[in-house]
A and B are shown apart, each in its own frame.
Chain A
Amino acid sequence: MNAMRWLQEGPGRLAVSLQSEHQLVGAAVLRIGLGSFLFLEILTNWSQRRALWGPKGLYPLWLFRRDLTSTIAPSILAVHSAILSDVLLAGTAAVGLLYLIGWHTRLLTFLFVIGTWSLFNRNPLALSGGEHLIRVTLPFLLLIDSGRTLSLDAIQNRVTPGAWKALFHNVGMAFIVIQLCVVYEAAGIQKLGGELWLDGSAVGRILEVEQFNRFGLGGLVYHHHLAALALTYATLAFELSFPVLVLTRKLRPLALFGAALFHVFIAVVMGLLGFAAIMLTYQAAAVGDAAYVQVFGRMRRLPMRLRGDRPAVGELALPKRIVTDD
């Protein structure tokens, strides 16, 4: 009986629920993180730009054109002139900055997607796991309303809610969060086919490789077999359980805590700072608005608590633009 009722009423209820936008703060954090990434990626590599993305660089233009028929991945940065390539790169960095601050977000999202797609495809060898995640979620960024809060658009009142906009936003965020789950689940399942992961030695072996032991901290793990064993199985447990943890509201804090530990370890010990930053940005996008409002509220109350004051009526009001029912 209940199942019949659900079948009759479920789609309608879902449609009503989707008329309000969820995860607006998460979408804004994703915009800020990805805008920062694009801007900093070009800025910090500016002195090496011609080697990385230039017509005679590590992925020369003739190679890009030779493989274009099989990659089907064009790039606005694939130009003959090194100077034009510089100008387009500078423009792409500026797009990253404007997207980050949330200025005319709809238009800038479109330009951000084109710019990031072009940068990634101009030299596919420069991509790590984090950049691959950005690459496959680019189309979904066009659906989400990332400028509703924490943006210049929000400050200047250029944001307009609407039911259709909300529908596309919610579906776009669902695509992004599920894609994040796919990354961990696929990585976990693939590891189950590896002998070193099953015998507990994989993390130790990885940290013995110079490329992943840049700060010399790997010895703390591979010299201690118990630590290597624990970290190998912890990695498997985390990756395989991530989708269930993050998609279950009550267990979500556990997923985020695990992800934070996992990626901070990768950043500090393995030196993969960019990968860790990108993955943590996507984790932040999976957090609901209610959790953000709670955290913002606590942060606002902290100075009062430190002073020993009691909050006045009205000081605990939640930001009006953020929906808290997810």
Chain B
Amino acid sequence: MPLPPPGNSRLFTLATGLLFGLLVVHFIAVSLSVLPSNSVSRTAEPVSRVYLRPFFVQGWQLFAPDPVSGNVRVYVRGTYLSGDGDQETPWLDVLDPAMSKRRRIWPPSNNLIEQVEWEAATLLLNDLSRESGEAAAADPSVITRWADAQAKPPSLVSLESAGGMALRTAYPTLDLRQVQVGLAIQPTSDIAGVFVLDSHPGAAQEPPSGGLIVFRPVNVGR
């Protein structure tokens, strides 16, 4: 049942019109930002970008236009100080299911740390594709540029942090100095042939002999 009308019904009608006008303008700006790029959206982009940031930034690709069709693998290795000088650990597969067991994260099937690592790895591949043209053949100049902390993409920073944590979990007694991240993507049809996952929690996994993109080592504990 409608409530008694407000004192100034003209003002109410005007406010209604303004709010609905705002709703229309808002969703025009939103639509222009989510639809595939066209001449109208390109023209309106500077204005809609200012309006949408930071509260209404959209991004609903959700497996589009083409879903990721391979398993992203993140490898890390550490440099540590031992009696004979600097030594390197073997490569460790950060997204290996055995690692989650070792980290005792619950629930193991859907934990947020793994989600962050996977998201970072996928974003890093996208960043590489954008900068190098093709992720599988990463441009060495891009890798060099990303060695600078000020130019490094957030996805790589995050994987270096994740790598440091994984190495400390796997080798708690080592005096870690540096962490190095490697990234690979396996086509799904090759999974069974390339990897046989070790059942020992945290066991080192050999990365693929070719196609591993290796980033510059970074000092730990920044």
A interface vs B, CB < 8 Å?
A: 11-12, 14-20, 41, 44-45, 47-48, 51-52, 56-60, 62-63, 66-67, 71-73, 123-126, 128-129, 132, 136, 138-139, 161-164, 166-168, 171, 174-175, 178-179, 182-183, 186-187, 189-197, 202, 205-206, 208-211, 214-215, 271-274, 323, 325
Q: Which B residues from 39 to 75 make CB contacts under 8 A with A?
A: 53-72
Q: How distant is B5 from chain A, measured CB to nearest CB, in Å?
A: 6
Alpha-carbon distance A41/B27, docked complex (angstroms): 30
Q: Is B161 an interface residue (CB 8 A)?
A: yes
Q: Which B residues from 8 to 55 make CB contacts under 8 A with A?
A: 9, 12-13, 15-17, 19-20, 23, 26-27, 30-31, 34-36, 53-55
Q: How distant is A110 from chain B, measured CB to nearest CB, in Å?
A: 15
**A163 x B116 contact (CB < 8 A):** no
Chain A interface SS verdict (over half): helix
**A182 x B60 contact (CB < 8 A):** yes
Which B residues touch A274, using CB under 8 A?
110
Q: Is B2 an interface residue (CB 8 A)?
A: yes
Contact of A136 among B1, B20, B58 (CB under 8 A): B58
Nearest to B155 among chain A residues (CB) is A125
The total of Cβ contacts below 8 Å across the A-B interface reads: 196
Q: Which of B79-87, B118-126, B135-143, B206-214 contacts A (4 or more CB under 8 A)?
A: B118-126
Q: Beyond A175-B23, A205-B188, A206-B67: 19 further Cβ-contacts under 8 Å? A: A15-B9, A19-B3, A45-B112, A47-B105, A48-B113, A57-B161, A124-B154, A126-B112, A136-B56, A136-B57, A139-B55, A139-B56, A161-B3, A164-B12, A167-B16, A182-B60, A191-B65, A210-B191, A211-B118
Which A residues touch B19, using CB under 8 A?
167-168, 171
Alpha-carbon distance A187/B56, docked complex (angstroms): 16
**B34 x A18 contact (CB < 8 A):** no
* A163 with B5, Cβ < 8 A, contacts A125-B158, A274-B110 known: yes
How many chain B residues touch A (CB < 8 A): the figure is 70
Alpha-carbon distance A72/B55, docked complex (angstroms): 9
Q: How distant is B152 from chain A, measured CB to nearest CB, in Å?
A: 8
**B71 x A273 contact (CB < 8 A):** no
Nearest to B72 among chain A residues (CB) is A211
* A11 with B67, Cβ < 8 A, contacts A48-B113, A171-B23, A271-B110 known: no
**B69 x A209 contact (CB < 8 A):** yes
Alpha-carbon distance A139/B52, docked complex (angstroms): 12
Alpha-carbon distance A268/B58, docked complex (angstroms): 27
Q: Which B residues from 157 to 186 make CB contacts under 8 A with A?
A: 157-158, 161-162, 165
Q: How distant is A153 from chain B, measured CB to nearest CB, in Å?
A: 18
**B110 x A273 contact (CB < 8 A):** yes
Task: For the complex of A and B, list the 4 residue pairs with the smallest distance between their C-beta atoms, beginning with the closest.
Answer: A194-B65, A190-B64, A186-B34, A208-B188
* A59 with B2, Cβ < 8 A, contacts A136-B55, A196-B66 known: no
**B63 x A191 contact (CB < 8 A):** yes
Alpha-carbon distance A190/B110, docked complex (angstroms): 26
**B16 x A194 contact (CB < 8 A):** no
Alpha-carbon distance A205/B63, docked complex (angstroms): 11
Q: How distant is A225 from chain B, measured CB to nearest CB, in Å?
A: 14
Q: Is B150 an interface residue (CB 8 A)?
A: yes
Which A residues touch B31, using CB under 8 A?
182
Q: How distant is B166 from chain A, measured CB to nearest CB, in Å?
A: 11
* A20 with B3, Cβ < 8 A, contacts A171-B23, A193-B36, A209-B70 known: yes
Contact of B23 among A45, A125, A174, A210 (CB under 8 A): A174
Which A residues touch B193, using CB under 8 A?
none
Which B residues touch A12, using CB under 8 A?
13
Contact of A210 among B63, B71, B116 (CB under 8 A): B71
Q: Is B200 an interface residue (CB 8 A)?
A: no
* A19 with B2, Cβ < 8 A, contacts A125-B120, A175-B26, A271-B109 known: yes
Which B residues touch A66, using CB under 8 A?
150
**A52 x B116 contact (CB < 8 A):** yes
Q: How distant is A93 from chain B, measured CB to nearest CB, in Å?
A: 14
Nearest to B60 among chain A residues (CB) is A186
Contact of B157 among A45, A63, A168, A171 (CB under 8 A): A63
**B162 x A167 contact (CB < 8 A):** no
Greatest chain B CB density within 10 A among A41, A179, A208 is at A208
**B6 x A19 contact (CB < 8 A):** yes
Nearest to B71 among chain A residues (CB) is A210
